[in-house]
Structure 1
Amino acid sequence: MMNKKTKGFILSIAAIGVLAGCSANADSDELPDKITLDYAYYSPTSLVLKEQGLVEEALADEGVEVEWVLSQGSNKALEFLNSRSVDFGSTAGAAALIAKSNGSPIESVYLYAKPEWTALVAAEGSDIQSVEDLAGKKVAATLGTDPYIFLLRALEEAGLSSEDVEIVNLQHPDGANALSSGQVDAWAGLDPHMARAELDTGAELFYRNADFNTYGTLNVRSDFAEDYPELVETVIEQYEIAREWTIENPDEAAAILSEEADMNIEVAKASVARNDFSNPVIGSEHTEALIAAGEVLRNEEVIDADADVESLVDELLNPSFTESLGSE
């Protein structure tokens, strides 16, 4: 069962999803004057895309302006999508699934990374050495994001649930600060903040499981994808340039992250290194990963108990834009 704070969060996201679904579609007779993309420290390719002005260059002849908005977490990216503040939002796949289950009219159209961007983190010298040790403890997590979902899956694997811990809802950087100051006992971390905590404060990643990290997905509103498929294709083409450049230039990509996020270069390198950028194509493995995450979310009542998880995943993932792309 969910605690009251979690339930309140989910209800607010549900309301946003319904409002977004009631919004009118854009006029598809001509291209919009402006498109808005998010960038995120947890998506190094989005930083490369922004830094190199790739989308701006690709749309210059079309007269389409490009605007950028910073997403501090999947929850913020989804809020921006639902409120039409952005047209493209970067999230974890499972976070997008929660939004989809609550009526958010979005589609995942591209994979920007297969990351190991989250783990459960304790302060240096902590007595917490396993997930079982979290029983009765305070754990910081950003509700609706991959670290939060990672925490739920880890708890279930250990025979626990969200009712066995006190989840403190904090944005990712605030969770890191709360851990270092002793306000919480553990933190469901997210890179690059997690890498910074490791290197700067000696924080320990006491539970890691790469398979519990869902993929990094680029999402668009369904009406935008229907009205402007050529713009979606153009943005993905530029993401591909950024992805290939990041693979070939990991140190330079880390330098961009370091500058954007105002962090030590070694922290940025560690964060970039925990991403696999080799496959942008949405396929069966991503469907399976999201279904597995969705089952846990349904058990925890984050997703409605009667929800058809497989259908939700099928409605969320739109592989048509990546079908022509080859994996390396």
Structure 2
Amino acid sequence: MRSILAPILAASTILFCSGAGAQEKLTELSIVVFGPPSLGAFLPPIIKAQKFDAAHGLDITFAERTPDAYAAQFNSGEFKIGGSAALLTVGLAETRGVKATYLFNLFDFWGAVVTTRDDVQSLGDLAGKDLAAATGTTNYQMFRWLAKAQGFDLSQVKAVNTATPGLVGYVMADRAAGVQLWEPGFTSLMAQNDKVRSLDLNIAATWEKFAGSPNIPYLGVAADSAWAESNKETVSALYNAYHDAAEWVKANPDKAAALISGGKTDVSENYAELIRANDRLGLNVQWAKDVKDEIKKVYEVGLEIEYFPSMPTDATIYEGGGAR
């Protein structure tokens, strides 16, 4: 009897183990993102801590890079997926021969110009003065368009270019009449210096008039076009992981803020406030195809300010994805 049962039991064990192994096997992904503090670094710690990647069959490794290294390694194809993909940058990359597609949006655009000077009450008051900014960023490019829409010519200011992490320092040291920046740096700055004021850029009304929509697609997840076409199920799983993370963040602002800030109490409180309001954070996870018209309007901005030499094609807008 033992000789008959032994092979059967062994075979059953092999089948059981094979089944368990199949269930546990996850698709490994490497995604390049900006290091914190940045919008691209906002959701990765949530995805990993709450295991939203594993819940959708993925094992994601987030590789943090500086903006320059990010661009070089994504555009060269070293990383097939970029999680700090500014929409204008994706469009510009195509005009330079990079075949990438914007999979889905994570954050809508928001930016600000701040000052501590009494003689600066509006953008016009910056004429002839210094404006510190990370001029190579797409946030600054969108600001250029907003300034133009208000009738202010940025050639009237002396733009002082600095790296993104240095923007808060410029304000704290009062080294420029104005500083252009965005979240999460803005919230952190406002908590540190109660003399800081934000100038009115009239973002919502200006964009609504231009695009006929409140959505301003700004930063999301992009991928090599050929990879996206060959891995549609993985792309859908990736979207679901990010979407679940975003919903969890909105439902648990305090816990989310603690994870995003790495447990830094003062920063965590600021982030929790930012998440609750969401007007400046702009967390808005949507498939690219569902905001296609708005993406094209962002591309029109790129043309208008001569950031693009030509209009990016529809190939930069991922047409896949669907209902969850």
> Normalising to structure 1: TM-score of the pair?
0.73
Residue identity matched to 2:134: T
**Residues 176-216 of structure 1, C-alpha deviations (whole Å, 9 max, x = no match):** 21222233222221211111111112322112444455433
Q: 1:137 and 1:271 mapped to 2: Cα distance?
A: 30
- Matching residue's letter, 1:220: A
Distance 2:227 2:246 in 1: 23
- The aligned counterpart of 2:11 is none
The reply to whether residue 181 of structure 1 matches residue 173 of structure 2 is yes
| Partner residue, 2:64 | 70
Alpha-carbon distance in structure 2 between the residues aligned to 1:300 and 1:162: 11
Gaps of 5+ in 1: 1-30
Which amino acid is 1:226 matched to?
Answer: E
Partner in structure 2 of residue 282 of structure 1:
288
Equivalent residue, structure 1, for 2:198: 205
1:157 corresponding residue in structure 2: 149
The correspondence for 1:171, drawn from 163, 166, 170, is 163
Residue number in structure 1 paired with 2:77: 84
Quick one: structure 1 residues 58 and 175, their matched pair in 2 at CA, closer, same or farther if it must change by over 3 Å?
same
- 1:15 maps to which residue? none
Does the CA-based 8 Å contact 1:150-1:188 persist in structure 2? no
Preserved CA contact (<8 Å) 1:131 1:154: no
For residues 133 and 158 of structure 1, the distance between their equivalents in structure 2, rounded to whole angstroms, comes to 13
Report the Cα distance in structure 2 between the residues aligned to 1:260 and 1:224, rounded to whole angstroms: 36
Superposition deviation, residue 71 in structure 1: 5.0
Change (3 A) 1:257 1:83: same
CA shift at 1:156, angstroms?
A: 0.7
Q: What are the equivalent positions in structure 2 for 1:19-38 lying under 5 Å apart?
A: 35-38=30-33
Distance (whole Å) between structure 2 residues aligned to residue 78 and residue 208 of structure 1 = 28
Aligned partners of 1:88 and 1:219 also within 8 Å: yes
The alignment partner of 1:109 has SS state of strand
The Cα shift of 1:56 comes to 4.8
Contact 1:38 1:88 in 2 (8 A): yes
Q: Which residue of 1 aligns with 2:237?
A: 234
Cα 1:142/1:56, change in 2 over 3 Å: farther
Does residue 254 (structure 1) correspond to residue 253 (structure 2)? The answer is no
Equivalent residue number for residue 267 of structure 1: 270
Identify the residue that residue 317 of structure 1 maps to in structure 2: 317
- Measured in 2, the distance between the counterparts of 1:133 and 1:175 equals 20
* Structure 2 segments unaligned to the other structure (5+ residues): 1-25, 208-215
Cα distance in structure 2, aligned partners of 1:248 and 1:276: 15
1:45 maps to which residue? 43
Aligned amino acid, residue 48 of structure 1: I
Shift of the 106–141 alpha-carbon distance from structure 1 to 2, 3 Å rule, reads farther
Whether the 8 Å contact between 1:121 and 1:188 is mirrored in structure 2 is: yes
Partners of 2:144 and 2:154 within 8 A in 1: yes
